[in-house]
Amino acid sequence: MQEAVREVADRVLHGAVEQENGVPGVVAMATDREGNFYEGAAGKREVGKDQEMTTDTVFAIFSCTKAVTGVAVMQLVEEGEISLDDPAKEYVPEIADIQVLEGFDSDGEPRERPANTDVTVNQLMLHTAGFGYDFFNEDLLKYGEERDVPSVVTGTMASLRSTLLFDPGERWEYGANIDWVGKVVEGVRGKSLGEVFAERIFEPLGMRETAFTMSEDMRSRRATMHQRGEDGSLTPLPDFELPQNPEQHMGGHGLYGTIGDYMKFIRMVLNEGDGEHGRVLKPETAEAMAQDGLGYMKIKMLPGVIEELSNDAEFFPGMPKSWGYTFMINDEDAPTGRPAGELGWAGLPNLFYWIDRKNGLGGFWATQIFPFADPASFGGHMEFETAVYESAASAV
Residue 364: the pLDDT is: 98
- Residue 107 CB contacts under 8 Å (≥ 6 apart), including other chains: none
* pLDDT, tens only, 66-89: 999 999 999 999 999 999 999 999
Can you tell me the mean pLDDT for 136-144?
A: 96
Residue 7 burial by CB count (10 A; 0-12/13-18/19+): exposed, middle or buried? exposed
- Quick one: pLDDT at residue 4? 82
CA 1 to chain centre: 28
Q: How confident is the model at residue 2 (pLDDT cuts 50, 70, 90)?
A: confident
pLDDT tens-digit readout, 27-63: 999 999 999 999 999 999 999 999 999 999 999 999 9
> Which residues is 361 bridged to in the sheet?
356
Q: Quick one: which H or E segment has residue 383? A: helix 375-395
Q: What is the DSSP letter of 202?
A: I
Instruction: Determine which helix (DSSP H) or strand (DSSP E) holds 13, and give its type and residue range.
Output: helix 2-18
Looking at residue 268, what is its pLDDT?
Answer: 98
Going from the C-alpha of 69 to that of each of 172, 245, 314, the distances in angstroms are 19, 18, 23
Cα–Cα distance for residue pair 115/129, rounded to 1 Å: 10
Give the pairing of strands 110-113 and 100-104.
antiparallel
- Catalytically active residues, by annotation: 63, 66, 174
Distances (CA, A) of 114 to 37, 106, 118, 359: 52, 21, 10, 46
Would you call 321 helix, strand, or coil by DSSP?
A: strand
Average pLDDT of the chain to the nearest whole number: 96
Percentage with pLDDT > 70 across the chain:
99
pLDDT-derived band at 393, boundaries 50, 70, 90: confident
Which stretch of DSSP H or E encloses residue 366?
strand 361-366
Amino acid at 289: M
pLDDT at 59: 98
Domains detected in the chain: 57-75+188-360 (3.40.710.10)
Rg, the chain, Cα only: 20
DSSP H stretches of helix in 198-297: 203-205, 216-220, 259-270, 283-289
pLDDT digits (tens, 9 = 90+) for 256-315: 999 999 999 999 999 999 998 999 999 999 999 999 999 999 999 999 999 999 999 999
Cβ atoms < 10 Å from Cβ of 140: 24
Q: Is residue 395 over pLDDT 80?
A: no
Average pLDDT over residues 331-338: 97
Reported as half-sphere exposure (CB side, CA atoms, 13 A), residue 328 has a value of 26
Residue 1 has pLDDT above 70, yes or no: no
Q: What is the per-residue pLDDT across 81-128, written as a single tens digit (0 to 9) for each?
A: 999 999 999 999 999 999 999 999 999 999 999 999 999 999 999 999
H or E stretch including 173?
none
Q: How many CB atoms lie within 10 A of CB 149?
A: 20
The reported pLDDT for the residue numbered 3 is 82
Q: Are 132 and 180 in contact (CB under 8 A)?
A: no
Percent of the chain whose pLDDT exceeds 90? 97
What is the model's pLDDT at position 396?
A: 59
| Residues found in the chain | 396
Mean pLDDT, residues 310-332: 96
Q: Is the pTM of this model over 0.95?
A: yes
Q: Which residues of 227-241 are buried (b: 16+ CB within 10 A; e: fewer)?
A: bbeeeeebebbeeee
358 vs 341: CA distance, rounded Å: 9
Indicate the DSSP class of residue 88.
Answer: G
H-helix or E-strand spanning residue 15: helix 2-18
Report the Cα 139 to chain-centroid distance in Å.
Answer: 23
Residue 96 CA neighbour count, 13 Å, CB half: 8
The pLDDT tens digits for 215-230 are 999 999 999 999 999 9
Secondary structure (3-state) at 146: helix
pLDDT tens-digit readout, 343-378:
999 999 999 999 999 999 999 999 999 999 999 999
